[in-house]
Amino acid sequence: MWQSFVNIFLDILLYIYKLVDNFGVAIILFTILIKLVIYPLMRSQIKSSAAMMEMQKSPRYLEMMEKYKDNKEKLAEEQMKLYKEMGVNPTASCLPTLIQLPVIFALYQAVIAAIVSTPLGMLDLTKRIYPGLLKIGEIFPINPSFLWMNLGQPERLFLPGINFGIPVLAILVVVTTILQTKLTMQSPTGGSTAGAGGSGAMMTGMMNIYMPVLMGFMAYTLASGLSLYFLISNVFTIVQYGVEGKLNWSALKFGKQKTAVLTGPAPVSIPQKPKTTVSTSAPAKSSTTTSSAAREEEKIDYREFKNKKKPKKNL
């Protein structure tokens, strides 16, 4: 089953290679093709994220967060009700990401299967391609070279005078992953997704760190054909958000953004005896709606939270 799935990718990839006679260009075109196929899903993800953010700005949501902050089960129940009423699918934003995971694995296996280095690998390849679409004699041997890279090997650029290889592609993957993460995060304040709530902010924070590190690690260690996929995929996603008019350019102003992010979800009014855990992360504009909740305000410093320290109460 999985093998058949990979073989479809392999056939498409090799068919494109047959047309363009360049494996790197074939991977780029293949990536664009995949992104175009999942474009409708991505679009719904963008819309869903925006709708979610809008909803999280609403006074009703904030009140609900405040009201049920000590009752997680009830909070989840009320949240689901609200999602339903407002027609928001909280899982919609995950779908394109989840769909891309098997695509990444399949593409990786397809790239490795296509760039054979031994007779047994070659024999395996002859059995995996669909003879009605491709003739192995016409496309073999597949030239894995693209620019300075061997797409079947991890990429390194060797420059004169430097006695080590520079992982240019891995660096580009890390940079574009950071850019993509920052630019595509929806925020009611134009800041970040901190408004998604404490746990959401934490997940976002972790993803901000993990994703570039993971992608960079994979780009550094695995075949550069896959890194090329990551790079093109990142660039395409940024372009896609740009086309939809949802790029969050303010997130790139690192100095200002830091302030916006950290103070954006302004000090939240917490009733007496608040727990040290973050209950909400309301956007700045909405802070006034919650300020009536209590006279004695205890403010949570989000900078502490961002630094993964226990939130500190500022009296």
Partner 1 sequence: MKKNKTILISVLVLFSALLLSSCAGNSTLNNATSWPGITAEENTIYTAYNSFVSAVEDGQKKWSYPAEVDKTLLFYAAPVIDGDLLYTGTYHNQIHILNKNTGELVQKIELPSSKSKIIASPVINDGLMIIPSSDGAIAAYAVSDYSNPVWTTKLSSEVWTTPLVLDGKVYVSSLDKKLNMIDLKTGAMLESVETNGAIMDHLVYANGVIYFSTFGKEVHTYHPGNGMVETIVQTTGEIWAAPLVLEDRIITADMQGNVYCSDLKTEKSLWTLNNITGDGSPIIAAPVQLSNQNILIAAENGDLFIYDLDGKSVGTRSTKLKTMSSPVVYDDSFATAFIPGDSLLKSFSNDLKENWLYQGESNTAAKTPAK
**Long-range contact list for 137-144, CB < 8 A, 24+ apart?**
138/18, 139/14, 139/17, 139/18, 141/116, 142/14, 142/17, 142/23, 142/114, 142/115, 142/116, 143/22, 143/23, 144/23, 144/115, 144/225
Counting Cβ atoms within 10 Å, is residue 314 exposed (0-12), middle (13-18) or buried (19+)?
exposed
Residue count of the chain: 315
Which of 113, 129, 178, 251 is the binder for partner 1 (CB under 8 A)? 113
Which of 122, 166, 239, 252 is the binder for partner 1 (CB under 8 A)? 122
Which of 217, 259, 309, 310 is the binder for partner 1 (CB under 8 A)? 217
In the complex with partner 1, the residue whose CB is nearer, 124 or 296, is 124
Using the rule CB under 8 A, is 272 a contact of partner 1? no
In the complex, what is the shortest distance from the CB of residue 253 to partner 1, in angstroms, rounded to a whole number? 27
Using the rule CB under 8 A, is 277 a contact of partner 1? yes
In the complex, what is the shortest distance from the CB of residue 277 to partner 1, in angstroms, rounded to a whole number? 7
In the complex with partner 1, the residue whose CB is nearer, 117 or 307, is 117
In the complex, what is the shortest distance from the CB of residue 25 to partner 1, in angstroms, rounded to a whole number? 19
Using the rule CB under 8 A, is 242 a contact of partner 1? no
Nearest alpha carbon to residue 93 among 32, 31, 51: 51
Using the rule CB under 8 A, is 165 a contact of partner 1? no
Query: CA-CA distance, 9 to 269, in Å (whole number)?
Result: 53
Using the rule CB under 8 A, is 112 a contact of partner 1? yes
Which of 2, 130, 210, 249 is the binder for partner 1 (CB under 8 A)? 210
Which of 19, 20, 147, 214 is the binder for partner 1 (CB under 8 A)? 214
From 165-173, 197-205, 233-241, 256-264, give the range in contact with partner 1 by CB under 8 A: 197-205
Query: CA-CA distance, 148 to 83, in Å (whole number)?
Result: 50
In the complex, what is the shortest distance from the CB of residue 113 to partner 1, in angstroms, rounded to a whole number? 7
For Cα atoms 104, 175, 115, give the angle at the middle one, nearest 5 degrees.
Answer: 35
In the complex, what is the shortest distance from the CB of residue 6 to partner 1, in angstroms, rounded to a whole number? 10
In the complex with partner 1, the residue whose CB is nearer, 100 or 240, is 100
Q: Which amino acid is at 232?
A: I
From 18-26, 115-123, 175-183, 244-252, give the range in contact with partner 1 by CB under 8 A: 115-123
Query: CA-CA distance, 259 to 273, in Å (whole number)?
Result: 28
Q: What does residue 35 show for φ and ψ, rounded to 5 degrees?
A: -65, -35
Using the rule CB under 8 A, is 307 a contact of partner 1? no
Instruction: Please give the size of the binding site for partner 1, defined by CB under 8 A.
Output: 39
In the complex, what is the shortest distance from the CB of residue 126 to partner 1, in angstroms, rounded to a whole number? 6
CB-CB contact of 176 with 234 (8 Å)? yes
Question: What are the angstrom distances between the C-alpha of 208 and each of 64, 97, 160, 188, 214?
Answer: 28, 15, 35, 18, 11
Using the rule CB under 8 A, is 109 a contact of partner 1? yes
Which of 1, 4, 101, 161 is the binder for partner 1 (CB under 8 A)? 101
Residues lying near partner 1 in the complex (CB under 8 A) are found at: 72, 101, 104-105, 108-109, 112-113, 116-124, 126-127, 135-137, 140-141, 198-199, 202-203, 206-207, 210, 214, 217-218, 221-223, 226, 277
